[in-house]
Amino acid sequence: MSEIIRTIITTEDGSPSLYDPQLGETYHSRHGAIQESTHVFIQAGLDHRQTHSLRALTVLEIGFGTGLNAALAIQHALDKEYPLHLASIEKYPLTAEEQTAFLAHSNEHIRPALQKVLEAPWGQDTSINTLIQLTKIQGDATVVQLPACDVLFLDAFAPAVCPELWTPEMMVKYADCLRLGGILVTYSAKGEVRRAMEAAGLQTERLAGPPGKREMLRATKISTP
Ligand SMILES: C[S@@+](CC[C@H](N)C(=O)[O-])C[C@H]1O[C@@H](n2cnc3c(N)ncnc32)[C@H](O)[C@@H]1O
């Protein structure tokens, strides 16, 4: 396989993201990486579920990428002091050089949590503190068995670029691993994505998207098959 050369970009809220020239894709919205992650995954996903939950939460992320969503999720659990287990799957982890560059460009508020998630080893459970655990899984999300979760961050590249993570079959796989009452959140609001979620038995909502994006999707598991 040819070498992957990804470059750091600065998004409009000042936070960094990565650009993959081979795919022509950025890892986050150019309108603001932290802004998008916070809006879609933390507020509409984790915070929404945590507010309605009395127990420990398990989050599963599809696409660990730069670790930004993971770091923001851990920061959320640290701030609100609740038990969290975060599992995140990645097929093409960043190189050590890319991690160092991404950290160096990140602001000091998120850097400590980001450093923890980037330095955590793959393939084992890492305790962030007594309440919070992180499991980074290196592998292909279409192949690995997905752990049961309460919140699923579907943060794959866009369906046009990475269609295998958005198929109706994958939506069934995502729905199967969600616990009853669990939610899937994603930045995509495409009609075919929403229809695949509905066909997998999930109840979908179109929510206001982050800056630069009119809508996003949240899907809830309201019954078991
Ligand atoms: C939009 S980026 C994720 C951004 C990430 N959540 C963050 O906070 O930086 C999509 C990620 O999915 C990964 N990916 C692509 N195909 C995959 C697959 N089949 N299984 C798991 N991860 C995959 C890419 O390498 C990339 O890191």
Q: pLDDT (tens digit, 9 = 90+) per residue, 172-186? A: 999 999 999 999 999
Parse the chain into domains and list their residue ranges: 32-221
For residue 199, report the phi and psi dihedrals to the nearest 5 degrees. Answer: -65, -25
- The whole-number average pLDDT for the span 93-113 is 96
For residue 72, the CA-to-ligand 1 centroid distance in Å is 16
pLDDT of 2 above 90: no
32-221, CATH topology level: Rossmann fold (3.40.50)
pLDDT digits (tens, 9 = 90+) for 46-89: 999 998 876 789 999 999 999 999 999 999 999 999 999 999 99
Percent of the chain with pLDDT over 70: 98
Cα 40 to Cα 207: distance, rounded to the nearest angstrom: 9
Q: From atom 19 of ligand 1, which residue's Cα is the shortest distance away?
A: 140
In sequence order, the 6+-apart residues with CB closer than 8 A to the CB of 20 are 4, 6, 26, 27
User: How many Cα atoms are found within 13 Å in the side-chain-facing hemisphere of 151?
Assistant: 29
Q: From atom 10 of ligand 1, which residue's Cα is the shortest distance away?
A: 156
Question: The sheet that has 7-10: what strands, in order across it?
Answer: 7-10, 16-20, 25-26
Cα 140 to Cα 105: distance, rounded to the nearest angstrom: 28
Q: Kindly report the length of the chain.
A: 225
Identify the H or E element spanning 99: helix 96-105
Identity at 109, one-letter amino acid code? H
Question: What confidence score (pLDDT) does residue 52 get?
Answer: 80
Pocket flag, ligand 1, residue 66 (CB < 6 Å): yes
Pocket flag, ligand 1, residue 69 (CB < 6 Å): yes
Pocket flag, ligand 1, residue 140 (CB < 6 Å): yes
